[in-house]
Amino acid sequence: MAVTAHKRENLGEPMRDMFRAIRRIVEEFTDVKVIYPVHLNPQVRKIADEEFGGCEIIHLIEPLDVVEFHNLMKASYLIMTDSGGIQEEAPALGKPVLVMRDTTERPEGVEAGTLKLAGTKMEDIYRECRRLLTEPEIYRRMSEARNKELPHD
């Protein structure tokens, strides 16, 4: 699983809830591993260290360049993010995307079924991630969904 989280509006308790949901998933599903290229923001790094510290199956790494990150997304089973850019890119790779935000500026992805708004509450994120890990039909529908093409001029 690839994770990104850095949005300013998620700093503090929302981000802690997001990270606690991820930690709960890896503690329940021991075959799930997480790679999180941690944003350079010191507040994000502090929360990540506090919430993920000591958890060997959550790998906190330095930020990746765009090609390396695309390779990570392609190799991942699913992607959890609060990033708008990732919401645009990951569906092209056939990866379900759980959006850890309450709203998105990419509603076409939610409408098409490539994105799922999971919110920032621990229980909601945990529930939506668990569904993707335990319900193959939901995973298949999301991974096979495609955003609608925009008309060309």
pLDDT of residue 54: 87
pTM: 0.91
Q: Closest by alpha carbon to 115, among 134, 143, 74, 137?
A: 143
CA atoms of 40 and 6, how far apart (whole Å): 9
CA atoms of 74 and 71, how far apart (whole Å): 5
Q: Which residue has the tokens 């039909």?
A: 137
pLDDT of residue 75: 96
Q: What is the mean pLDDT of residues 14-30?
A: 96
Q: State percent of the chain over pLDDT 90.
A: 81
CA R_g for the chain: 15
Is-contact 147 111, C-beta < 8 A? no
Give the tens place of pLDDT for each residue, 47-62. 999 999 889 999 999 9
